[in-house]
Structure 1
């Protein structure tokens, strides 16, 4: 019976009340101690003592260096770039090969300078600084994929629009010659 009580007492953790002192120093670091400190608030905590021989977790080391969570860096704005005109699968008629592009940046257009990179059929055609809307010139007739990218002043991509497909039609010079023959 004594052996059972001895095993039971070793297996159960001991509980004791202890006074802990807490204070914040001039740098804003919170300290805890079992010894009183000028200006410290005393708190009574219920402490649990692990059984003898039980592994104890390592106590965290308190440093006065700020942690990563303490360092305040402004959050980066998540931009969205939307190509509003022309629409995907739209057919355009322009004999000069002009394709005007309108885009919208959400939540707002960057104020510290930006660039718009224009991709036509996966190839960069131009990069414009602080300029919206954009226009493509001398585009051959046919099917084309268009995408825009919003870059910061250092060239980092902030947002990309969806790629759209447009169909550009031009009047053929051959059609004019045929029409002139049939009229004459």
Structure 2
């Protein structure tokens, strides 16, 4: 079994090398057509063809140079992000709005200018405390909020955790049925 595998590999290697040694001839016949073949009429010159299938080793990249280029790219991206000044505002509910929700659900809609990127998140604050985890959606729901007056605010957070913009504080009055 091993001998047949070895012979098959040897045959494949030999056949590949024989293709590399093939001679090619070019001639033009009496009708003006150009022909190429591995055999030719007598007196036809042989042409040489460069082997384009060879791959040469590339020079190694200087790691210091590559790291410097990567750092420059990161610095440029950071400058671009810092140059953008985001603004955020709560568009719903408006300040001093009374909302009736027996389930205690507050739905907050935040608008950012310019529009936030997919890597940026919105964190809702209820009465100065972060509520839940940061969200991708501009519509944030606060669940099971106690009845009464609350102050709502949202922060736009960049992918590095930095606060990019803060909304105004909106006062809402949540009305829920209470059973006595």
Q: TM-score, normalised by structure 2?
A: 0.54
RMSD: 1.6
The match for 1:172 is 178
Tell me the residue number matched to 1:131: 137
State the Cα deviation string for residues 87-131 of structure 1 (Å, max 9, x = none).
1000010011000011101022224x0111111000111232422
User: In structure 2, what is the Cα distance between the partners aligned to 1:142 and 1:129?
Assistant: 25
Aligned position for 2:50: none
Which residue number corresponds to residue 57 of structure 1? none
More strand by share: 1
The one of 71, 90, 93 equivalent to 1:86 is 93
Where does structure 1 differ by over 4 angstroms across 4 or more consecutive aligned residues?
none
Contact kept? 1:115, 1:155, Cα under 8 Å: no
Paired position in structure 1 for 2:156:
150
Deviations 1:137-178 (A, max 9, x none): 00000010000000001110000000010000111212xxxx
Aligned counterpart, 1:52? none
TM-score (norm 1): 0.53
**5+ residue gaps in structure 1?**
1-70, 175-184
Q: Which residue of 1 aligns with 2:114?
A: 107
Written as runs of structure 1 = structure 2, the 5 A alignment for 1:70-85 is 73-74=79-80, 76-85=83-92
Out of 117, 124, 134, the position equivalent to 2:123 is 117
Larger mean CA deviation between 114-123 and 71-80 belongs to: 71-80
Alignment CA distance shift 1:118-1:134 (3 Å): same
Query: Any gaps of 5 or more consecutive residues in structure 2?
Result: 1-74
For these two proteins, the number of residue pairs brought into alignment is: 103
Distance (Å, rounded) in 2 between the aligned partners of 1:118 and 1:99? 11
CA distance in 1, matches of 2:129, 2:111: 21
